[in-house]
Structure 1
Amino acid sequence: MVWFLLVVFVIALVMGFFQVPIWIMYGVFAVMIIFIFIRNPLVFGKDPEKIMAYIKKSKAPHLQFLYHFLQGDLSAAENTLGKILMKKAKQGSELMLLMERKEYGKAKELLANMSGHKTKWYALSDIAIQEVDSESLKEYRGKLNDRFLLKMLEVDQAVFEGKKREAVVLLENMIPTLRGYKLLTAVQARKQILEGKI
């Protein structure tokens, strides 16, 4: 990321020196940003192995947390949690740990301090599934409009009801249409179901 910013600075300096029209400068920067997004496997990646390799090599604490979490090494993930500086990323990571450990009371306390975001409504819906609270599930699910998270709730519901084969079929139908982080999430969920971890 530092190299990218340095390159942007140098290009801006050169274009400023040659007094390039502003619309060309904006065009160049737009192309550079699109290029960076396309090359980032967490956004558009189609290969779960490459995405995991990218996360493993990353120095960003929230991505290190994500790698350990997806590998099932919760103690290493918890150690990495203290290094995450961004408040929203830290809350999301802490929530993931609490949900994985089925500490729903603590998760609800954390969620009470979070703003109304799709992650909050998904987590509260998942807790309602685990606590067999159909009224809360209906309320929180109604606040979700993210198709991926709604499908993941269907998967969670199927797993909770013991319909693991149905959950795997749902995931396998989703996987070909997903990219980046969503793809990785679905692949890891399928792997955990097949290995009997959830």
Structure 2
Amino acid sequence: MIWFLLLVVLFAFLMGFFQVPIWLMYGILVVVLVFLMFRNPLLFGKDAEKIMAYLKKSKSPYLQFLYHFLHKDLSAAEQAMEKIRSKKSKRNAELMLLMERKQYGKAKELLTQMGRHKAKWYALSDIAINEGDVEAFKQYKEKITDTFFLNMLEIDQAVYDGKKENAVGLLDNIIPKLRGYKLLTAVQYRKQILEGRV
């Protein structure tokens, strides 16, 4: 990443030295940014295996955490979580671990520290499903507008009700429409359902 930034600075210096028009400089910058966005499989990747390989190779503690978490290696995920520097990312990682371990009381305490974010409402809805609190589930679900989270709640409800075939069918319907991390999450969840780990 440092080499890339050094190249950008050098390129900007050369463009300034040769007095390249500003609109051309912005055009090149936009092309480079779009190229980088599409190159990152976590954003637009269509192949779950390539996304998982990207997570495995990553040096970022949060991405290492995601890799271990998705493989259900919770002790390794917890070790990776300790290395995360960003408070927000660390809080999200801790929440994911608490939810996976079904420590809903601690998860609710952690969620009170989070702002009004769609992931917060999804987590609270998921807790309500697992605790059988229908009123809380309806209350939190109303605050979610993201279709991915709404679909995942429907799948979680089917799993909780013991209708695992329906959950797999719902996942089969949404997986072709997903990209990046959402795709990887859905594929891993489907795999866990089929293997009876959920």
Deviations 1:85-129 (A, max 9, x none): 111111111111000000000000000000010110000000000
Pairwise mapping of residues 9-158 of structure 1 onto structure 2 (< 5 A)? Answer: 9-158=9-158
CA distance in 1, matches of 2:35, 2:118: 28
- 1:16-58 Cα offsets, whole Å, 9 max, x none, are 1111121111111111010000010001111100000000000
Q: 1:194 maps to what in 2?
A: 194
**How many matched pairs?**
198
1:5 Cα deviation after fit: 1.5
Moved over 4 A (4+): none
Aligned to 1:46, the other structure's residue is in SS state: coil
Q: CA deviation at 1:177?
A: 0.6
Q: TM-score, structure 1 length as denominator?
A: 0.98
Q: Deviations over 1:115-173 (max 9, x none)?
A: 01011000000000001111111111111000000000000000000000000000010
Q: Name 2:3's counterpart in structure 1.
A: 3
TM normalised by structure 2 equals: 0.98
Return the alpha-carbon distance in structure 1 between the equivalents of residues 184 and 4 of structure 2.
26
Q: Could you tell me which amino acid in structure 2 is paired with residue 192 of structure 1?
A: Q
Q: 1:8 offset after TM fit, Å?
A: 1.3
CA–CA separation in structure 2 for the residues paired with 1:3 and 1:148: 36
Q: Give, in whole Å, the separation in 1 of the partners of 2:37 and 2:164.
A: 35
Secondary structure of residue in 2 paired with 1:159: helix
**SS at structure 1 position matched to 2:184:** helix
Q: Matched residue of 2:8: which SS?
A: helix
Query: After alignment, is 4-13 or 58-67 more displaced?
Result: 4-13
Q: Distance in 1 between matches of 2:3 and 2:93?
A: 27
Give the structure 2 partner of residue 178 of structure 1. Answer: 178
| C-alpha separation in 2, matches of 1:195 and 1:4 | 42
CA RMSD, Structure 1 to Structure 2 (Å): 0.7
CA distance in 2, matches of 1:143, 1:53: 34
* Structure 2: distance between partners of 1:43 and 1:3: 22
Alpha-carbon distance between aligned partners in 1 of 2:44 and 2:4, rounded to the nearest angstrom: 19
Q: Gaps spanning 5+ residues in structure 2: where?
A: none
| Deviation of the 1:2 alpha carbon | 2.1
Amino acid aligned to 1:166: N
Q: 10-19 or 166-175, which moves further after superposition?
A: 10-19
- What CA distance in whole angstroms lies between the structure 1 residues aligned with 2:160 and 2:2? 45
SS at match of 2:102: coil
Residue type matched to 2:64 in 1?
Answer: Q
Mapped partners of 1:114, 1:76: distance in 2: 25
Offset at residue 3 of structure 1 (A): 2.6
Identity of aligned residues (%): 67
